[in-house]
Each structure stands twice: as structure tokens, then as C-alpha cells.
Structure 1
Amino acid sequence: MLKRSIVIPFVLCLAAWAFEVDVREAGPLGVRAVRDAAKGVKSAEISDAVRELYIDEGYLMAEVFVRPDSARKRIAIEVDAGARAFVESFDVVGWEGDLPRMQTSTNKHFRRKDLALDMTSIVVELENSGFPFAVAKIETLNIGAPDNGKIPVRIAIGVERGDSVAIGAVLVPNNTKTQVHVIQKTMLIRPPEIFSQRLITAGVRRLNNLGYVRVVGEPEPVLDESGVWALWVNFTEGRTVLIDGVFGYAPREGQSGLSGQIDATFDNIWGTGRQIKLNWKQSGDDFLRFSTGYKEPFLFGGFGAMKLSADYHDRGNSYTERNFGAEYRYPLSFVFSVSLGGAIKSILPDSAGVARIPISRQTRIDFGAHVEKLYPRVNPTSGWDASFTISPVCVKRSGQALELLALDEFDAIARLEASISTALSFGRNFVLYERIVGRSVQLARELPLSDLYFLGGWGSLRGYREEQFSAEHIGWSNTEFRALLGGDAHGFAFFDAGAHKRYGEDAQLNVGYGIGLRLSTAIGRWTVAYGVAGGESLTDGMIHVGLSGRGDR
């Protein structure tokens, strides 16, 4: 039987005093470990706290002596660790096959926390192998007499697997609009699916990332009347009609001030997961963009999604562009997907741009790979996203500009686009968010404006006008240091850097910096930011005001 630690009684009111801890004999774990164990603990509980520390490390007969000195407001601690326990034998009864990696093993020091972790590992391994009701418990824990400074411990863990479960169906609340197949396919469940807690947890995260569904509690296996195991998924539904907007104002002399964009999203149409998006974007008289998109989430009843899009772009006093595209994306896992798409684009110069912009028709094929590990999707605090797309493009040109710009009638070019985003938490209330994007057109000659990428504005380089720069090669980074304010609200300071390179010219670097605030309200999530371009005075910045129905990153 283990000896009890010796606690010297003292006046209870002294427990409320601020005592200085004086560790006179710390034992083998050291002074710092003893101080940390006693930190923030009531005086009357210090002995138990320090002893628990030593028992966790295998000193099962440790004694802790605590002597208060009320006159000097000091508590003296002395530890007699005694012999340390080691594992003489370790067995797992009822387990078939190879064990997961165990912290506890024969001839190692006994640690109580390691044993608890091992039991959890056994249960988790079974839960991920079709046994959701598995239990692991200590069958025997025999402590022998000390011998040569060691205490032998003999351990046997008993395992009860419980029923094996294969999920044959998914059950959802009757009062929800979202159809059951949306839940099942978003969670990537293919009935009959062997129960796996790991995959279900990943499926719940994927469901929550939809934005209009929030899972309540943990999904549970239930046995229906026909004897088939089903997965019960309880969830609530959020808004499915979302209006997002961002407007900016730049008071700089000689520039058109007002710019902005509005997104209208209609999610989960008729509870099927289908989506329609409308987008309007304008920057003074410089350009106007309007786009529409439709998403069929489970094409032909499978797990892949098809997106169709149509875009109209009026580049003031230059050209108009029409683009029709399609993309099929298939999830290979909960976080990794591949995509195949394409688009047909036509460009028609206006009277002012006919000498600079050729008439052209372009056919593009897109091959993409995508990783989505940021969590949560709105205001993420951990994880990373990455995307890479390569697009061969066939271009046919005609018109007056063809000869003036020495362009070929036919061209084969390649477009490369890549991005990565990361979120890293510091403590409980601070997050560093970083996004890096690069885009490039691969062709060894100068291209007309209609074939270039654009840089600048709220979505890329804050503090500058929307699409202020154009080039064959662009890249930018957005760095935000966020202070979390509760919920998905936060204040942030940002630093943006963007580079663009035209054919035959040196690369140019531009930076922007500023501060902002994102707040959740009853009508949506407001974003207010003030950005200043590098080299400009603080009074010549751009004000961005945005409203989002669901939020952004």
C-alpha cells in the first residue's frame, strides 16, 4: 500500500494569502517542476498537487512536506521521492493484431499519463476500425515491493470491442431543408461504410465548411427498426441568400474615387446544395465586370461538383470580353481535390482600342490540384490551403492591331496560377494570416492588354486602385496580424506586397499597409479597412467598407 503524504495543518485563512514558495528539497524532478506544480494552488492543496506530479512520473511512494511560515509569508516545500516504478510486465487482453504505438512498455519507467494515453490510443484505433462502442480498462495493476531502488509494476489492460458497425444510411432532423444526400456526400460517406471516428470527424469539418450548415454535437451510430446501422447527424441551418459588398474611396487628386463590388450568392437551392452566384465589380470609368456562376454539387449522383460560369468584362475605352467556362472538381480525400476545366473567351476592341487590342478568340483547358486545410473557413486560426493550376491556351487573332503589334495570327500559350494561405495562432487571441499568390503567362513576346493579369485593390494589393497594374507576370502577398475579439470578429494590421513584370521590362515592387476591423452584426459581417500605398502620405490612403453575409478569411 502506498504511503500517504504528510500534510502539516495550518490556519485555513492563510490559504488566501500570497505566499512565496521556498523549495528546499525538490527531488529528482527539479525546482522548476515543483514550483510550477505549486503555482496558483491554494496553500492547503500544495502537498497534494506536488505529490500528484511525482506519482505521474512513477514515484508512487513520494512524500511531500509543506511547512508554512505566516510571519514571513513563505511556504517551505521538501520532497522525498523514494523509489521509482518501472513496468515489469504489460499485456493487452482481447486485442487482435498489431497494437498501435504504446508509450508504456516492459522495462520502461511507469508514468500514469502514458498509461492513460495508451488506453485512449487503443479505443481510438478501434473506433477508426468499425467499433464505435469499444472500451479499454485496467484489468490489473499490481505494485510490488521496492527492490534495489525500483518498484515493479505489472499491468494488464482489458479490451472490449463491442458491436462492429457499418453505416448503411444517414439520418437527419425532419425539420431541416437540406436533403439527406447533401449531408452524406459532403461527408464522403459511401454506404455501406465501415464506421471510422476519424473519417466522421473529418466529414463534420467538411460539412461545417459549407457555411450554411452547422453540426450540433457528435454524429452517432443508431440501429434502425430494420436492423441497419445508420449515422445520426444533427445540425442547424444558416442563411442561404447572401449579399456581400466592398466599396472603396480614394481621395487622391486626379483619380476616380468610387469603386466596389457586390456578390450575391444563393446557396443550397431547394435543399440540394446547388448554388448560383452573381458578381458585379467596377472601378470608376476604368472597367466593369459582371459574372454569373452555377454549381451542381453532386454531378450524376457522384461526389464531384460541376461549375459553369459566364463573365462579361468592359475595359473602358479599350475592349469588351466575354468568357464561358466550366470546371469539374473531384475530392480524392477530405482535404485534397483535383479539377479539370476549360473556357472559351472572345475579345472585341472598341473604336479607341482597335489599334492596340486585336480581335481574338481563345480556347483554354485547366488542370488543377487543390488542398483545403484552413479551419475554420471563416476567420481561420490554423491550417493551410494551396492551389495550383496550369492552363494551355490556343489563341486565334485578327484585326488591325495584328500587324501594328507584330502579333501572330495563331498562338499557343500557357498560364500558370498558384496560391498558398496559412494561419498560425499565437496564444489564445492572436493569429498571423498569410496569403501568397502568383500568376504568369508563358510566351516569349509582349502581349496586348487583353491577355495580361491585373493587380491592385481589395483582393490583392490594398491601398491601390482596383486592377491598377497589368503585366504578364504578377505576384502578391497579404500579411495580416489579427487580434481576435470574440466570435469571428477581429481587428487587424496588414502589410501587402505586390510585384508585376511586363515583357522586356524590369519587375516593379509595390507595397501597401494599413489597419482594419471585421465585426459580426445581425445583417452580416462588416469590414472596414484603411490602406496606404507605399510612398504616399497617411492622409492619401484608400478606405474600404465591406458587408459580407457569411464572412471571408
Structure 2
Amino acid sequence: MIGRIILLMLVAFSGEAAREAAADGAPPGRTLVLGGTEFRGNHSLASAYLLDQLASRPGDPLDSAAMERDLAAVSLAYARNGHPHAAITPAEFRMESDSVRRVISIDEGPRVTVAGLRFSGNRTTKHRVMARLTGLAAPAAFDSRRVELAVKRLVKSGLFASALPPHLEASPGAGPGEEVLVFTVMERPYHGLYGAVGYSQPEGSERGWLAGALSLSLSNIAGTARAFKLDWERPRRENSRLELGYTEPWVLGYPLSAELGAGHRVEDSSYVQTRASALLVVSLGENFSAGFGGGLERVVPGTSQSVGRSLKYSSLWQLRADLRNDDRMGTGLWASTRLEYGRKRYSRPEAQHTLARVWGDAGFLARVWRRLFAYTGLHGRAVSSGEHPVPRPDQFPLGGAGSLRGYFEEQFVADQVAWGTAELRLAADRALSFHPFWDAGYYWDGGRGQRGIRHGYGLGFRLETRIGRVAVDYGLGRDDGLMDGKIHLLLVSEF
């Protein structure tokens, strides 16, 4: 907190007051109470307003801890009203019968106007981007509440590993009371690259094929907070997936972000799916946001002709809540939900169906003891369609590193899937952590008569290195022996 609190008491206030009371004839050992509070030197803030800020009320026991809390409350009131340099000191104590009346002296100092913003530590992020992230405008009267909120916004943006409490500096040539607010940040690696590529050559004269996965993430392009993501995967010759995403943080300079996405998926001889989406996201306060947009999806049948040719138009709706703290581990609660509602049209034979798909996710991380943290996550997906059974392109997968560990990627596909996870994370140091985990999942496919409950458990670790992050989970599924588990590996190079 910007501001100074000067306590001119070398011994506990209760002891001083007790001696003064004894000198005035009050019985020794009696608990002293507060009779009233006066302020001296306050010109900008009325005494009635300052009295409302105090935790102590007439008749409350009076001790040094209560005195410190009240002085801090007065200092904070001045910092919130343009006087960050105010000095608050106890000046006088007077006995009145069996109570003590105190006088608090205030040196308000100059009324400060923030004439400008200055940032240090930002090697990549542009000044105008950081100023927009803080939500502060200059010139403006100093308000410690807005300053504290600006620090939280910088950390929550995800662009910085840390942001120190800012300080005020005099600006050369500035007028009386005009100062510059200086923020100091430490940037984090903005870009990530993960890749695993191999070439498979079957026996005989059959041509080989390229297999693997590639993930590229650019989260602060040219220091503008724009983001781009590319994911490509080809686990088998007949299957491939490509996902593209782009985020524009401020559309035409307004506090409105745009999220654009595109995807192309080939599922062996079943179908080829191509889709595109656009979502506009608006902030609803500091911790909530809402999005709305639309999507287009085309499905072309493969040689098996098991899926019909279709075109789907849909509207997209989204709500997000992020109540996590701005500490290094990100403790706290987050949640999101998304709804897709649209019409699906078939050309051969001609038909139309209404389709609704829902996503729901939530997670909570809490500190149990020092470096020990507990994490719980809940996730659900569901589709409602006029088609029976629901076609595979509209269903949801379950299994693998992102959902149910101990099982193969997308081992189950169904109309409804849900899974939960519980982890106990031990941070050995800032770079290394271990976590035993337990996952439970449920899937239901009404059209095909499939339903099941599965669980997986195991052990994993996370390691932060100078060149990137390594994450390994070893999971065991139902009926798996100790050596029959699945290894879920993630290698991300950050730059």
C-alpha cells in the first residue's frame, strides 16, 4: 500500500494508557476502553468520513493492535482519495473517567495527480499495450484501489510472470502534485513449440507416411498481446487433424476481443470435417466475460459412406469466470460453459435437423500446506440432436492426457461424456513438482446402446527448464497391471 504509517509508540499502547490511568486514579488492572477519536490536520477528508473507516468504536477495548489497524485504515482512506504520501500519527491520549480519548494527527501531504505511466522490465510488450491492460488513464487523480487492480490485471493477462507494486516518481517539468506511476514487471516466455515427427515405412513396396504431432503457440505477437495457435496431429496414415486459432485482444480499439478458429479433420474412410468459427468476447467486470458468435461446419463422407454430406450453421454462446488469485500457482476457482445451437442440412437425401451441444468445465486449486496443493476438476459434454443415432462428427471423445488418463486418446466417443480429476501437487521447488492423480469418467451413447464408467490413476511430474516444460503422467486404467499403464508425455519448448 502506498502511503506511510508512522507509529510513535515504543511500548504497547495498552501499557502506556494503563500507567496514565493509574496516575489519574483509575483502578490498576482495569481494561481500558476507547472513549472517542479526534482528528487534527485533516482538511481534504471530513472527520465523520474518517471515523467510518475505523474498526474501533467507542466502548471497544483499546490496545496497540487496534491502534495500528485504525491508523492503517486512515492511511488507506487517504491513499484512495489522492493523498498517497499522507503521514498518520497518534498525537495525544486523554483520560475521561474510565475511558481514553485519542487524538490522531494527520499530515495530508500534496494531492497527487498521476501525470503518466511508466513501465520497466517489458522487453517485448509495447507500452501502449501495457497501459491498456492496466485500465488506467493519465492524467487522473491517484486512487490506490485502481492501482492495486491494475497490478492484478497485468498478472491475469498471462503475459507476465510477476508484477511488483508500483511506486510514484517525480516527473521533470511536472506541475505541483504531478507524479509518474512506475510499474515493474517480469515477462514470461511468450511462445511455445512442441513437436514429435516420425516416418513410417511399411514392409514391401507400399509407400511410407509421415506421422507425429506439432503444436505452435504464439501468445504475444510483436508485443501486441495478439495470439496464434496451430495444432497438427497425424497418429495414423488415414487420420489427421489440423486446428488453427487467432485472438485479437481489442477489436478496433474497443474493449472487445475476437477469437477466430478453423479446423480440418480426416477420420480414415469415414468422413472429412472442415469448420470455422468466430467469437466476440466482452468483459463483465474483473472476473467474468461473455462471448457470442457463429460457426460453419461441413462434413464430406469418406469411401465407407457411413456419414452423409452435411452443412451446419450454428450460433455460439460462452460464459467464463476466473476467480483465481494472482499468485504463482494460480490458486482459486475458474469455470466456463459454452453452448452451440444450430441447424444441420443434408443434401442427399435432403433433410434438416436441430442440434445443440454443451461444454462445461471448472477447476479449483487450493494450498493445503506450504508447497502442497490440492486440485479438483470437473468437466462435462453433451449433445442433443434430431438424428438417431447421433453421427460421430457431432459426438464427444473421452480418454487420454486431456481427460481420462490411463486410457488411449479418444478411446470412447459418445453423446454424453463427463470426467473429474483429483491431484495432490507437491512443489519440490519452483521448477519441479510431483502429483499423484485419480481420474473418473462416464460416457453414454443412447443411439448405439453404449454406456460405461471408467477410472484411472497414476503418478506424474512437471519440470520447468530453460528451454521449455516437460510433463509426464503414467496412468493405469481398469484391469491394468503395474506395467500395463499408458505414458502421457508433453514437451513444450518456450521462447
TM-score of the aligned structures, taking structure 1 as reference length: 0.75
Deviations 1:134-175 (A, max 9, x none): 33322223457xx7xxx6322222344444445454222497
For residues 38 and 385 of structure 2, the distance between their equivalents in structure 1, rounded to whole angstroms, comes to 67
Relative to 1, partners in 2 of residues 1:218 and 1:394: Cα closer, same or farther, differing over 3 Å?
Answer: same
Deviations 1:287-323 (A, max 9, x none): 4221122222121112222122211111223111111
Instruction: Provide the residue aligned with 1:339 in structure 2.
Output: 291
The code of the aligned residue for 1:338 comes to: A
Show structure 2 runs of 5+ residues with no match: 1-10, 20-27, 198-209
Deviations 1:1-36 (A, max 9, x none): xxxxxxxxxxxxxxxxxxxxxxxxxxxxxxxxxxxx
1:238 positional shift: 3.3
For residues 392 and 107 of structure 2, the distance between their equivalents in structure 1, rounded to whole angstroms, comes to 69
The one of 394, 419, 435 equivalent to 1:476 is 419
Deviations 1:339-385 (A, max 9, x none): 12222111112102x1x2111111222121211122458643x2111
The code of the aligned residue for 2:491 comes to: L
Relative to 1, partners in 2 of residues 1:175 and 1:545: Cα closer, same or farther, differing over 3 Å?
Answer: closer
Relative to 1, partners in 2 of residues 1:102 and 1:376: Cα closer, same or farther, differing over 3 Å?
Answer: closer
Say whether residues 1:539 and 2:473 are aligned partners: no
1:513 positional shift: 0.7
Deviations 1:259-314 (A, max 9, x none): 97532112322222222211123444674221122222121112222122211111
1:198 positional shift: 3.0
**Secondary structure of the structure 2 residue equivalent to 1:234:** strand
Instruction: Provide the residue aligned with 1:9 in structure 2.
Output: none
Instruction: Provide the residue aligned with 1:82 in structure 2.
Output: 29
For residues 69 and 279 of structure 2, the distance between their equivalents in structure 1, rounded to whole angstroms, comes to 45
The code of the aligned residue for 1:429 comes to: R
TM-score of the aligned structures, taking structure 2 as reference length: 0.83
1:492 positional shift: 0.3
Relative to 1, partners in 2 of residues 1:448 and 1:115: Cα closer, same or farther, differing over 3 Å?
Answer: same
1:462 positional shift: 0.8
Relative to 1, partners in 2 of residues 1:437 and 1:164: Cα closer, same or farther, differing over 3 Å?
Answer: farther
Instruction: Provide the residue aligned with 1:139 in structure 2.
Output: 91
Instruction: Report matched runs for 1:100-499 at 5 Å.
Output: 100-142=52-94, 152-173=99-120, 176-224=123-171, 225-227=173-175, 229-244=179-194, 261-284=213-236, 287-352=239-304, 354=305, 356-376=306-326, 379-380=329-330, 382-399=331-348, 409-443=351-385, 445-499=388-442
1:414 positional shift: 1.9
1:516 positional shift: 0.7
**Secondary structure of the structure 1 residue equivalent to 2:67:** helix
The code of the aligned residue for 1:412 comes to: T
For residues 532 and 143 of structure 1, the distance between their equivalents in structure 2, rounded to whole angstroms, comes to 73
1:515 positional shift: 0.5
For residues 357 and 166 of structure 2, the distance between their equivalents in structure 1, rounded to whole angstroms, comes to 43
* % same residue: 24
1:525 positional shift: 1.7
For residues 92 and 418 of structure 1, the distance between their equivalents in structure 2, rounded to whole angstroms, comes to 54
The code of the aligned residue for 1:367 comes to: W
For residues 106 and 371 of structure 2, the distance between their equivalents in structure 1, rounded to whole angstroms, comes to 41
Relative to 1, partners in 2 of residues 1:173 and 1:534: Cα closer, same or farther, differing over 3 Å?
Answer: same
1:478 positional shift: 1.8
Greater share of strand residues, 1 or 2? Answer: 2
Deviations 1:96-148 (A, max 9, x none): 2534553211011113212212222232233234433333322223457xx7x
1:532 positional shift: 0.8
Between 213-222 and 300-309, the greater mean CA deviation after superposition? 213-222
**Secondary structure of the structure 2 residue equivalent to 1:84:** coil
Relative to 1, partners in 2 of residues 1:516 and 1:175: Cα closer, same or farther, differing over 3 Å?
Answer: closer
| Two-structure CA RMSD over aligned residues (Å) | 3.0
**Secondary structure of the structure 2 residue equivalent to 1:293:** strand
